[in-house]
Structure 1
Amino acid sequence: MDSIIFRQYKPGDEQQLVSLWNEVLTKDPITSKRFRNLVLLDANFDPEGMKLAFEGDKLIGCVYAIRRLLPMVSTELETDNGWIPFFFVASEYRQREVGSQLLKQASQFLREQGRKKVFFASYAPNYIVPGIDAANYPAGAEFLRKNGFMIQYSAVAMDKSLVDYELLEDIKVLKQQRIEEGYTFEQAKDADLVELIRFSTQVFNADWGRAIRERLLQGLAMEQILIARANGELIGFCLYGGYEGIRERFGPFGVHPSQQGKGIGKILLHDCLKNMRSHALHNAWFLWTGETSSAGHLYKKAGFEITRRFDIMFKNLF
C-alpha cells in the first residue's frame, strides 16, 4: 500500500478513467463522450467526491461519490443523502484494500457534507445502472456487503424484440372501447407540454419531468411522446428516447393511479411499441422497474424479458 497514492480527480485523468472503467466494468462499457456528459458535465459533479488511486502514474481504482448541488425540483436538495454511482478497481489490486480505502475516503467526503446515508447507485439524473448487478459483478456485490451496504430493494431491466411486432386485435378493440367512453390517445403537442411535465413530476418522479424537458430541448421529436386523456384531463403518457437520446430506450411511462386497471397503460405501451417499429427500431429496452410491480407484470404480458437484475443498496454514514 505504501507505493499507492490516493487523491481526488484532476483534469487530465479522463482517458485513464474511461480506459480502466472499460477494462473492469465489462458489461457496462462507456465512451469518453458519455463519461463527459454523465459525469463531468453533471451540475452536481464535485472533483472532491471522485476518489482515485494510482501506482506511479497508473490509475488503479476509483470510487465516485456525489451529493445534490442542484435541486431536482423546487428547492429540495436531499441534504441527508449521498450516492456512489460507480466504482472500479483493477483486478490485480483487489486484494490490497485499494477499494476499501477509496470507499472510506468517499464516505468521509459525504460525511463532511452532512450526509447521513449513501446509496449505490440510484442517483438521478445521471445514473449508469440503478444498482449492483450481482450476477455479472459478484466481487462488486461482495465488496459492498463487506463494507456495510444493505439491499433496500431490487429492480430488473427488460428488453423486447420488435422485429416481428404487430399491434394485436384485442388491443385495437380495447382502445376503441375506451375512446367510446371518452378517453383520447394522441401524440403530444406543444399545448400539452406544461401539463405533461407537471404531471410526470408531481404524480411520479421529478427525474421524469426533467428528462422530458431536457430531451425536448435537445431535439426529442414530439411524435415520440404519446399522451392519454379522460374527458380532457391528462391521465397518462408514454415515450421513447427520453434518456441520452437513445431511441430504443423506452420510457418514462406512467398512468395516474386512479386510472389503473382500465388498460390505459396497455394501450399506451402498445401504441408506443408500434410507433417505435414504424420508425424501423428493432428493440425496446429499459433499465429499471420492479419485477412484481404492476408495470413489471404489464411488460411481461407485452413480451418483455428480464435481461438483468440490480440491487439498490444503502449504508448509514453515522
Structure 2
Amino acid sequence: MRYEPLTALHIGEIKMMWNEVWGDRFPMRERILEQNMLEDPNLLRSGAWAARDEATGQLAGYVAAKMWQDDVAEVSYSASLGWIHMLLVAPAYRERGVGSRLLLMAEKALREQGVKEIQLGKDLHRRVFPGVPEPDLETVAWLERRGYTRESHVVDLYRYFQEDLAAFPEVEGVSFRMLQDEEASTFNRFMQRCFPQWLYQTLAYWQQGGSGREFVVAEKDGEIIGFCRINDAQVPLLAQNVYWAPLFPGELGGIGPLGIDETYRGHGYGLAIVQAAVHYLHARGIRHMVIDTTPYVDFYGKLGFKTWRSYVAFCKRERI
C-alpha cells in the first residue's frame, strides 16, 4: 500500500469510492469535496493522505485532518483543537489496517501542531458530517477501540410542503424580511455580538460573493434582533442542509442556523422566523426542506419537520 499526499488529482476517485459506499444515502459531488477540503484554508496538508493499492492502482481510502489556520481578524479558534474531517476506506480494503494507518497519520500531524483534542467531523461550516452517521455500530466500536468517546447526538430533519404557498408569520411589533447586500456590515456586527459561533461562516459567506438572499432577518424598532439562514442550489458555498439534493426529485432547500437575540427570547420569534424561512423557500418553488445538525426535534416538530438522519459526535483528548 502506498500513502500519497492528498491533492486535486484524487477528487474524482474519492467521489467514486464515496458513492460506492454511501451514494444511496449521501450522494457525493465533486463540488463538495473541493470546497470542503482543497479550498478550506484550515485543511492540514500534512494530515491529508490517500492510500493506493500499488498492485492494482486502485484508491483504497483517504483521510483529511484540519485545524484552525485561517487569517480572519475577527475570529479565532483554539490551537489545541483539531478535526478529522473525513476518514473513508473502500470496502475491499477494510480489516487490512488501511483505516488504522490513515488515522494514525492524521493524528500524528495534528499532535505535531500541538493539538490536544480531536473531533470527528464538526469542522466548522466546511464539514461533511457533524459526527458518525447512524446506524453504524461497527464504526462506533472501531473508534472506541482507538480512544474516541461519544459526545453529542444531533439529527437532520426533513419535511415536504404540499401547500400552494406556506403562510407568512404575523407577529405584532416584529417584521421578517430578506437581508440586503448593503447591510453586510450591520449584520456582521449583530452576529459578532449575539452569535459569535456563526460569525466565521457569515464572513465567509460575504467573501464568497453572498448577496444577502440566504438570510431572513427579524426586525424590531428598526433593529435586527434575529436571523435564519436559508439555502438553495444558488448558494455561493454549498451548505450541509443541501448537500444531498440529488436524492430529491425537485430542488432541495435548507434551513438553519438561526437565532434570536437573547434579550427578545421567549416570545415565539424563533418559530416565527422559521415560518418566514419556509415561506421564502416555498416562494422560490422549493417543496423539499432540510434542517441539519440540531438536537431540537420537538421545536421544529411544531412545523411538521421529522427526523431524517442522525449522527453521534466523537472526540479524543490527549492525556496531559
Q: Into which bin does the TM-score normalised by the smaller protein fall?
A: 0.7 to 0.9
Contact 1:134 1:140 in 2 (8 A): no
Structure 1's consecutive aligned runs of 4 or more residues displaced over 4 angstroms after TM superposition are 165-169, 216-221
Alignment of 1:272-291 (within 5 A): 272-291=277-296
Q: Deviations over 1:26-61 (max 9, x none)?
A: 322322222122211111223321122222122212
Farther off after superposition, 282-291 or 306-315: 282-291
* In 2: Cα distance, 1:167 partner to 1:75 partner: 37
| 2:257 corresponds to 1:260 | no
Contact 1:240 1:272 in 2 (8 A): yes
Q: 1:265 to 1:146 in 2, by over 3 A?
A: same
**CA displacement at 1:11 relative to structure 2:** 5.1
Match of 1:114 in 2: 114
Match of 1:161 in 2: 160
* In 2: Cα distance, 1:106 partner to 1:145 partner: 17
Contact 1:71 1:77 in 2 (8 A): no
**CA displacement at 1:91 relative to structure 2:** 1.2
Q: 1:205 to 1:131 in 2, by over 3 A?
A: farther
Contact 1:185 1:229 in 2 (8 A): yes
Match of 1:244 in 2: 238
* In 1: Cα distance, 2:117 partner to 2:59 partner: 28
Contact 2:216 2:230 in 1 (8 A): no
Match of 1:44 in 2: 42
The 3-state SS of whatever aligns with 1:148 is coil
Q: TM-score, normalised by structure 2?
A: 0.85
Farther off after superposition, 66-75 or 84-93: 66-75
Contact 1:159 1:307 in 2 (8 A): yes
Contact 2:119 2:315 in 1 (8 A): yes
Q: 1:9 to 1:167 in 2, by over 3 A?
A: closer
* In 1: Cα distance, 2:141 partner to 2:32 partner: 27
Q: TM-score, normalised by structure 1?
A: 0.85
* In 2: Cα distance, 1:305 partner to 1:68 partner: 34
Which one has a bigger Cα radius of gyration?
1
**CA displacement at 1:80 relative to structure 2:** 0.5
* In 2: Cα distance, 1:11 partner to 1:237 partner: 36
Q: Deviations over 1:48-88 (max 9, x none)?
A: 21122222122212122111111566352420011011111
Uncovered stretches (5+) of structure 2, i.e. residues with no partner: 243-251
The 3-state SS of whatever aligns with 1:74 is coil
Match of 1:310 in 2: 311
**CA displacement at 1:191 relative to structure 2:** 5.0
Partner letter of residue 15 of structure 1? G
Q: 1:55 to 1:299 in 2, by over 3 A?
A: same
Contact 2:68 2:76 in 1 (8 A): no
**CA displacement at 1:312 relative to structure 2:** 1.2
Contact 2:165 2:283 in 1 (8 A): no
Contact 2:167 2:279 in 1 (8 A): no
The 3-state SS of whatever aligns with 2:144 is helix
Alignment of 1:85-104 (within 5 A): 85-104=85-104
**CA displacement at 1:96 relative to structure 2:** 1.4
Contact 2:62 2:87 in 1 (8 A): yes
Contact 1:134 1:141 in 2 (8 A): no
The 3-state SS of whatever aligns with 1:159 is strand
Partner letter of residue 253 of structure 1? L
Farther off after superposition, 222-231 or 62-71: 222-231
**CA displacement at 1:13 relative to structure 2:** 2.5
Q: Deviations over 1:238-275 (max 9, x none)?
A: 23126517561112311112222101112211112111
**CA displacement at 1:166 relative to structure 2:** 5.1
Match of 1:301 in 2: 302
The 3-state SS of whatever aligns with 1:157 is strand
The 3-state SS of whatever aligns with 2:143 is helix
Farther off after superposition, 61-70 or 212-221: 212-221
Provide the identity percentage.
Answer: 22
Match of 2:249 in 1: none
Partner letter of residue 287 of structure 2? H
Match of 2:83 in 1: 83
Q: Deviations over 1:177-233 (max 9, x none)?
A: x22xxx333332345332222222342244x33434443454545454322233333
Cα RMSD over matched residues? 2.4
| 2:148 corresponds to 1:125 | no
Contact 2:181 2:211 in 1 (8 A): no
